[in-house]
Structure 1
Amino acid sequence: MTFTDTGSTGATLGVAQDVAEGTTSWGIPKPIPGAVGFSTSPEGDTSEFYADNTKYFTYTTNNGYTGDLEMANIPDEILAEMLGMTIDSNGMLVESANDEPKYFALLFQVQGDQKNRRMVYYRCKASRPSEENSTNEASVNPSTDTLNLEMLPTEDKNKYVKGKLQLSESNQAVYNSFFDSVLLPNIA
C-alpha cells in the first residue's frame, strides 16, 4: 500500500512479492485516500556491558517501529490484499480464521512538512482494524478505521527499516517518481 499526499498525511501501499530468499521486492504502489493520522514508536533495546568498573560498551538494537494508521475508510480491496481476506462473487469482504496478513511497504508524505520529505517503511504488517459503530445523533461524528502496524527491518542483508527523501536540486526526478514504486536506497 502507498499513501500519497491527500491532506495532513497521505499514504500508499506496495504489497511485498514472493521473491528469492534474501531479496526484497514489492508490487506497484496503490494510493489510498483518506489518511487521518499516523503515529509510530521505536522498538528495540539498549544493552550496557560493564568491565573495568565502568561502562565498557553500549549496544542498541533496532527492531523497527510499531504504530497506528487512522484512515477515514480502508477500501475492502486494500483490506483483502493486506490482511489476506477474500472478496466473494457478491463483493462481500470475507474474513476467515485462516487469513494470512501480507508484508507491505508504506509510503507517505506529510503535507506542510517544511523539508518536503517523502517517507517509506519497507516491511510493514497490519493487524485487523478496530471498528466502532454508533447510532445517529444530533450532530454527525464520522467514524474512522485504525490499523495497528508493525514496521520491521527487511529480511535481506541490509535490514532496511525506513527511508526519508528530501527534495534537492540533484534528486528532482527520483523525488517526483517516489510514489511510482518502492524506492530502495542507492548505497554504493
Structure 2
Amino acid sequence: MATKKNKVKFNISNVHYALVIENADGTITWGIPVALPGAVSISLDPQGEPESFYADGIEYYVINNNQGYDGDLEVAMIPEEFRTGVLMEITDSNNVLVENASSETGKFALLFEFDGDVKKIRHVMYNCSASRPSIAAKTNEDGREVQTETLTVKARPLATGFVKAKTGDSTKASVYNNWYKSVYQPNTPEPEEPTEEPTS
C-alpha cells in the first residue's frame, strides 16, 4: 500500500526548545525538549549563497556556502523558563527577573511542526541562538489587542555540518512519535567495506 503524502502545509504548533550541552570533549548533546507555548508565526530565511570559482574561462566549480538560517519566531509571550535558561536573565531573591549586560545567551535546538493535509511535518534546528526581544505595547482603544513578543533566531551549522532535520512521508513511527522526547540525531550509515576482487 502506497504511503499517503502531504500536498499542503499550514499552521505552526508544538514549539519546543532543548538547551545545548557542550561536553568536555567538545561534543554536543541536548537537554530534554521543553514546550514553548503560544506560537504565532515563524519565518527563517537561508543564509549563505553558493560561490563560483572560475578557471579556464568558465565557472569551474560551485562552492557550497550553507550558513544556516536567520529569522523570527513570534509567540504570545516568552516564558520565564526561556528567559532564564536561554536569554540568561537571572532571578533575584525577590523573584524579579534581571537582565545583565555581561550575560552570554545560551544555545538551543528549536523543534516545531506544521500541520499537513495528511500528517504533521516535524522539524528540528540543531544549533540556535536568540536575541533579546523588543519591549513594546500600546494602549487599548475600542477593544483589547494581544501584544505578541518576537525572538530573532539564528540557526547555525554544528561542527558536524548538520543544520536541521524534518520528518518525511515515510519516517519511522518510532522516530516520529518520540520527536519531542529528545533531539533527533541523524543515523548516518557506516561506509561500505571495499569488496576484494577474486584472484585468478
Q: Same fold (TM over 0.5)?
A: yes
1:120 corresponds in structure 2 to: 124
61 and 31 in structure 1: CA distance in 2 versus 1, 3 angstrom threshold: same
2:27 corresponds in structure 1 to: 23
- Which residue of 74, 81, 86 maps to 1:82? 86
**The residue matched to 1:184 in structure 2 has which SS?**
coil
2:164 corresponds in structure 1 to: 162
- Which residue of 27, 41, 56 maps to 2:45? 41
Deviation (angstroms), 1:114: 4.5
Deviation (angstroms), 1:113: 5.8
Deviation (angstroms), 1:72: 0.3
Unmatched 5+ residue regions in structure 1? 1-6
1:133 corresponds in structure 2 to: 137
Distance 2:142 2:49 in 1: 48
Structure 1 runs (4+) greater than 4 angstroms displaced = none
Q: Deviations over 1:93-129 (max 9, x none)?
A: 1101111101100001112364532100000000001
Contact 2:15-2:36 within 8 A present in 1 as well: yes
Q: Which moved more, 1:146-155 or 1:112-121?
A: 112-121
2:77 corresponds in structure 1 to: 73
113 and 29 in structure 1: CA distance in 2 versus 1, 3 angstrom threshold: farther
User: Over aligned residues, Cα RMSD in angstroms?
Assistant: 1.6
Q: How many residues align?
A: 179
Which has the higher Rg, Structure 1 or Structure 2? 2
Distance 1:15 1:90 in 2: 26
**The residue matched to 2:175 in structure 1 has which SS?**
helix
Contact 1:115-1:166 within 8 A present in 2 as well: no
62 and 130 in structure 1: CA distance in 2 versus 1, 3 angstrom threshold: same
Q: Which amino acid aligns with 1:24?
A: I
Q: Which moved more, 1:7-16 or 1:40-49?
A: 7-16
Q: Deviations over 1:23-53 (max 9, x none)?
A: 1101111011100000011111221122222
Contact 2:115-2:121 within 8 A present in 1 as well: no
Contact 2:12-2:42 within 8 A present in 1 as well: no
Q: Deviations over 1:121-151 (max 9, x none)?
A: 0000000011211112111111001000100
